[in-house]
Chains A and B, each alone.
Chain A
């Protein structure tokens, strides 16, 4: 009979995850006591919510492979059930079934992975498994894990369930985007020691991440309703988290999924104010002069990020990719100021960038330090795949920046019209989840 101690293993990763689950759970719970007041499903919602939180806590703490799988499957089933809040509403049932189908794929593959792990190591103790060699099954196991993470984090081609999930009540969406989609990242982090020595697997994760990050952003920017815009944004953020996993920087990935969880919960819960939110950025393409100054100002953010996060600026490994992204973000911030007043804007923007660079660096540093005992951070040598990924991100950014009129110029070429329509169609929710007539909605 295994002891309680062998069933559970509380390490940094589980503690951070527990903190996230409890904070988001409490906020969503407190919010819902007022938001769902008078709702027919009020009680059922809270029973499901509490059960889900408990199951998630078990999931992040367990050290037993079978419990891990059971908690994983159960939590997804509970989430799908929460999505089916208005069960008389046809479209909501559509979302429920779609999510359930995707989750079953994940769950079955995870079961296969667990079986393989057990057969390879003859152990159900996760820590023990991570420290033993897996022999010939290693590749298959890694492929399985990546597949499960992709279904959970709604990576293309498993993204349909997430962008069709908005028939759920707002608090459930908040919980889903702050919690359950992150489980993909958690899975990769939990089993990260298996990946460290296999750069090919990391490169695959990285490529999936880049693809989703760009595709998600593109879809997000063309959506005209607030909730689907947020769902597409989650897709791109999950892509970035996978990129960080692919870079071997698991602490950064965990930092990202934690902070993204809080960020997205706030965006969803506040989504009813979208109509009052004024759009402030006018977005005129900068002149070359402004652009160069902005890049210069962005360096401030990059340098401070590098210093604070403990990444050497000229490191010959994957940490420099994060620094590059900080640099791009810094340049974007600087443009807001520089496009208004060239030189005084530059000064102000450098100050703002210094502050933002510090904040970004600090949050990565915090997680980096927390994870030192777990030996989670394994920056990889720079491979051409990493470079191409970075170039893709850079090109996408520049296209949006300078080609703001890409899709809305007066003489827009036919191929761009076709591209737009294709993107629009690809980002539509599954037909069974659309309420085609208002009377199909059912309270």
Chain B
């Protein structure tokens, strides 16, 4: 094998971060491959690779033809007559079909012959093409990189397929070979591309947004630190009536603050998958419900059952009608009659959706399955106990259990929104976290688990009940899963419900201004309407505004208005012997938060090169991603409407993630040094890491040379 070439291929792919398809959009740092460089250099490199507007004209042709074929091959169900030969792997299909493409071959029979006889092994083909294009060995690396970075969206999807989805028919080499193949067909002398790139002179990183970022971060730090240092050690309070655990998601913070103000509540923050490395199977489909960095180890089954006979029948009918609709719509001749038959009803339906979106939910429920229960028998008791133990120990909930403990997941429900899954729980792989909360509550309520937990030093009293819930982030509605609720807890749950309603109202008032809602109106109704409105492009602000991650007990932040900008992860350093728990937090939730932060940051900095442009002109390709207009590269990242108030005014403030850990400096530094990706992030200033001293509350910064310094000096 040609190791030099393999190395070049691997190096060229380093510029490309993966892109997850629409069904579970995962936030990634679009510049993840540049994290081993200082951010100032990375911004300059990114400018040269991704933010150019003028290209040699032949690139237009190469891209246009690439897009045409990639779109057809990777379609996941939009077209009803799929691409021929799709059972072969990507490169084989493409080579065979390109032979017939007159737009590329243009009756050049020599070209067709060459194409027919070219090697089907991707690496060999890359080598052949590089020779045919007569690229010198010293330029090959650069040329391969440019073949990827000039069509970054589709390359990102190929990176996802080959490296994350482990799709056997796709590989990094095959994608590169395809790009080179098209180049061979339309641009025999592509050296101009290299000279074009060499002539690019990147501006000063400060002009690329770094300076703005830094000053915004300084302002943010000063405010946050003064709030945190003024915080006094809490007076030990009486036993709270209810303890609840929320996802670290920034939308939990204001809601937790609101809930705490309604009664004797104690809240915790933990990654929304509750530490469960599970996949969830429902109606024959299985999907991982944990962060993408982690491989699921167990599968739990969702049992869907519809409450009444009538509603089940109705759903069946609806399902069959949809089937009829699709079968007539996607055939010859029959769609002609379909229009006249159904249009009167469709006209009425469309008017309701447009003028009275509040009434849409009567119909929408027809499309949803109610999950009656979950089958966790596939998870052995010992693993259940370990899950529960890790969960409780991480947040420090190992004694003083309240009678009612609410495990609250979150999800979002919006209509006519291509990026809907970006509003769901990132820790659950871009899905609702409801299943995870329910599974964890079931585990913690199992008496055998409690017996085993007691052996490991955690005594959960019999009078304690865990109840799962899900927080609807668009409307701030919280739904409790009350099945199998012991009678003794009925009163408490009733009271909790009242308090949740109050918290909803308080939080909606806080959010009203950002959503441009009149605070005097019925906010519950207004947000309900937003969620069901098919014309609404900003149903909620999602994770816009995110700026910091605080890894500390809640007492450090109780009562502080963090403005919904902070991920809160509970952590008790005193009970973390050997810093095992801290290591997990710094290598998993921290990385997830940094990905989310970087996605919002870069989508705001350049909403076309790193974001998806405006929703107004988006067009969904192959059910996997959005394009702009007739045809374009896959637009990775977030739409303008998710980060900006209007086409020009930012809503999200582009800042790097600030991480504050309440733990001894040595413990943090040891973990950072142990993990090269963390070392990179700190040393190259991709994030700020601060330590709060557990007793003196002194805040110190971990500088890029990996030494501790005063945070005041940093802020100035």
Q: Once bound together, how far apart are the Cα atoms of A352 and B325, in whole Å? A: 12
Q: Which of A225, A364, A439 contacts B627 (CB 8 A)?
A: A225
The answer to whether A272 touches B103, judged by C-beta atoms less than 8 angstroms apart, is: no
- Which A residues touch B153, using CB under 8 A? 438
- Which A residues touch B50, using CB under 8 A? 439
A410 at interface by CB-CB < 8 Å: yes
Within 8 A of B (CB), among A408-443: 408, 410, 412, 414, 416-418, 420-422, 424-425, 428-429, 431, 433-443
Instruction: Give 1 or 0 for each of A237-259: 1 = CB within 8 Å of chain B CB.
Output: 10010000000000000011011
On whether A435 and B609 interact (CB within 8 A), knowing A221-B79, A259-B343, A333-B327, the answer reads no
The answer to whether A39 touches B616, judged by C-beta atoms less than 8 angstroms apart, is: yes
Find the B residue at minimum CB distance from A440: B53
The answer to whether A441 touches B632, judged by C-beta atoms less than 8 angstroms apart, is: yes
Least CB distance from A88 to B in Å reads: 11
Instruction: Give 1 or 0 for each of B69-106: 1 = CB within 8 Å of chain A CB.
Output: 00110010111111111110000000011001111000
Least CB distance from B74 to A in Å reads: 8
On whether A224 and B78 interact (CB within 8 A), knowing A256-B339, A269-B350, A417-B100, the answer reads yes
A263 at interface by CB-CB < 8 Å: yes
Instruction: Give 1 or 0 for each of B627-663: 1 = CB within 8 Å of chain A CB.
Output: 1111111010000110011111100000000000000
The answer to whether B327 touches A91, judged by C-beta atoms less than 8 angstroms apart, is: no
Q: Once bound together, how far apart are the Cα atoms of A337 and B317, in whole Å? A: 12
Q: Which of B53, B334, B355, B644 contacts A30 (CB 8 A)?
A: B355
Least CB distance from B536 to A in Å reads: 5
The answer to whether B629 touches A229, judged by C-beta atoms less than 8 angstroms apart, is: no
Q: Once bound together, how far apart are the Cα atoms of A326 and B338, in whole Å? A: 9
B23 at interface by CB-CB < 8 Å: yes
Within 8 A of B (CB), among A301-341: 325-326, 328-329, 332-333, 335-337
A226 at interface by CB-CB < 8 Å: yes
B337 at interface by CB-CB < 8 Å: yes
The answer to whether B324 touches A227, judged by C-beta atoms less than 8 angstroms apart, is: no
Instruction: Give 1 or 0 for each of B49-62: 1 = CB within 8 Å of chain A CB.
Output: 01111010001110
On whether A437 and B79 interact (CB within 8 A), knowing A39-B616, A40-B648, the answer reads no
What secondary structure prevails in chain A residues at the interface with B? helix
Least CB distance from B499 to A in Å reads: 33
Find the B residue at minimum CB distance from A229: B78
B524 at interface by CB-CB < 8 Å: no
Q: Once bound together, how far apart are the Cα atoms of A92 and B613, in whole Å? A: 14
Q: Once bound together, how far apart are the Cα atoms of A233 and B621, in whole Å? A: 16
On whether A396 and B333 interact (CB within 8 A), knowing A34-B533, A275-B22, A435-B629, the answer reads yes
Q: Once bound together, how far apart are the Cα atoms of A401 and B334, in whole Å? A: 11
- Which B residues touch A256, using CB under 8 A? 336, 339-340
A270 at interface by CB-CB < 8 Å: yes
Instruction: Give 1 or 0 for each of A13-43: 1 = CB within 8 Å of chain B CB.
Output: 0000000000100010011111111111000
Instruction: Give 1 or 0 for each of A371-403: 1 = CB within 8 Å of chain B CB.
Output: 000000000000000000000011011011100
Q: Once bound together, how far apart are the Cα atoms of A38 and B537, in whole Å? A: 10
Q: Which of A221, A269, A274, A424 contacts B68 (CB 8 A)?
A: A424
Q: Which of A218, A221, A441 contacts B608 (CB 8 A)?
A: A441
- Which A residues touch B51, using CB under 8 A? 439
B354 at interface by CB-CB < 8 Å: yes
- Which B residues touch A228, using CB under 8 A? 619, 630-631
The answer to whether A39 touches B632, judged by C-beta atoms less than 8 angstroms apart, is: no
Q: Once bound together, how far apart are the Cα atoms of A270 and B352, in whole Å? A: 13
Least CB distance from B473 to A in Å reads: 18
- Which B residues touch A396, using CB under 8 A? 332-333
On whether A363 and B415 interact (CB within 8 A), knowing A281-B327, A333-B328, A408-B86, the answer reads no
On whether A431 and B64 interact (CB within 8 A), knowing A38-B647, A167-B617, the answer reads yes
Q: Once bound together, how far apart are the Cα atoms of A439 and B153, in whole Å? A: 11
Which of B256-264, B294-302, B416-424, B436-444 lies at the interface with chain A?
Answer: B416-424
The answer to whether B323 touches A394, judged by C-beta atoms less than 8 angstroms apart, is: no
The answer to whether B620 touches A263, judged by C-beta atoms less than 8 angstroms apart, is: no
- Which B residues touch A270, using CB under 8 A? 416, 534
On whether A434 and B339 interact (CB within 8 A), knowing A225-B620, A421-B101, A428-B68, the answer reads no
Instruction: Give 1 or 0 for each of B325-364: 1 = CB within 8 Å of chain A CB.
Output: 0111011111111111111101101110011000000000
Q: Once bound together, how far apart are the Cα atoms of A393 and B336, in whole Å? A: 11
A46 at interface by CB-CB < 8 Å: no
Within 8 A of B (CB), among A195-228: 213-214, 217-218, 221-228
Within 8 A of A (CB), among B600-636: 607-609, 613-624, 627-633, 635
The answer to whether A406 touches B334, judged by C-beta atoms less than 8 angstroms apart, is: no
The answer to whether B617 touches A86, judged by C-beta atoms less than 8 angstroms apart, is: yes
- Which B residues touch A336, using CB under 8 A? 320, 323-324, 327
- Which B residues touch A276, using CB under 8 A? 23, 420
B189 at interface by CB-CB < 8 Å: no
Among B151, B629, B649, residue most surrounded by chain A Cβ atoms (within 10 Å): B629
Least CB distance from B202 to A in Å reads: 15
Q: Once bound together, how far apart are the Cα atoms of A434 and B336, in whole Å? A: 30
Least CB distance from B623 to A in Å reads: 5
On whether A438 and B68 interact (CB within 8 A), knowing A35-B537, A225-B78, A332-B334, the answer reads no
A271 at interface by CB-CB < 8 Å: yes
- Which B residues touch A89, using CB under 8 A? 628-629
B700 at interface by CB-CB < 8 Å: no
- Which B residues touch A163, using CB under 8 A? 630
A115 at interface by CB-CB < 8 Å: no
The answer to whether B630 touches A166, judged by C-beta atoms less than 8 angstroms apart, is: yes
- Which B residues touch A414, using CB under 8 A? 100
The answer to whether B333 touches A224, judged by C-beta atoms less than 8 angstroms apart, is: no
Find the A residue at minimum CB distance from B77: A279
Find the A residue at minimum CB distance from B634: A438
A60 at interface by CB-CB < 8 Å: no
Q: Once bound together, how far apart are the Cα atoms of A33 and B535, in whole Å? A: 8
A151 at interface by CB-CB < 8 Å: no
The answer to whether B72 touches A329, judged by C-beta atoms less than 8 angstroms apart, is: no
B150 at interface by CB-CB < 8 Å: yes
Find the A residue at minimum CB distance from B80: A221
The answer to whether A263 touches B78, judged by C-beta atoms less than 8 angstroms apart, is: no
- Which B residues touch A434, using CB under 8 A? 64, 67, 630-632
- Which A residues touch B337, using CB under 8 A? 325-326, 328-329, 360
On whether A224 and B75 interact (CB within 8 A), knowing A333-B324, A363-B343, the answer reads yes
Q: Once bound together, how far apart are the Cα atoms of A394 and B336, in whole Å? A: 13
Instruction: Give 1 or 0 for each of A94-114: 1 = CB within 8 Å of chain B CB.
Output: 010000000000000000000
Among A165, A224, A417, residue most surrounded by chain B Cβ atoms (within 10 Å): A224
Find the B residue at minimum CB distance from A35: B535
A356 at interface by CB-CB < 8 Å: yes
- Which A residues touch B617, using CB under 8 A? 85-86, 92, 167-170
B472 at interface by CB-CB < 8 Å: no
On whether A31 and B354 interact (CB within 8 A), knowing A38-B646, A221-B81, A397-B332, the answer reads yes
Find the B residue at minimum CB distance from A214: B332
On whether A280 and B420 interact (CB within 8 A), knowing A326-B337, A329-B338, the answer reads no
A57 at interface by CB-CB < 8 Å: no
Find the A residue at minimum CB distance from B66: A436
A sample of 10 cross-chain residue pairs with beta-carbon separation below 8 angstroms, ordered by A number, consists of A163-B630, A166-B629, A213-B333, A225-B631, A280-B322, A280-B326, A337-B320, A433-B629, A435-B627, A439-B52
Q: A275-B23, A359-B342 are in contact. List 10 more A-B contacts (CB 8 A).
A: A86-B614, A91-B630, A91-B632, A225-B620, A281-B330, A394-B333, A410-B87, A417-B85, A431-B64, A443-B647
- Cβ-closest 8 pairs across A and B: A38-B646, A259-B343, A167-B629, A435-B632, A224-B75, A329-B337, A429-B630, A262-B347
Residues on A lying within 8 angstroms of B by beta carbon are 23, 27, 30-40, 85-86, 89, 91-92, 95, 163-170, 213-214, 217-218, 221-229, 233, 236-237, 240, 255-256, 258-260, 262-263, 265-266, 269-277, 279-281, 283, 325-326, 328-329, 332-333, 335-337, 352, 356, 359-360, 363-364, 393-394, 396-397, 399-401, 406-408, 410, 412, 414, 416-418, 420-422, 424-425, 428-429, 431, 433-443
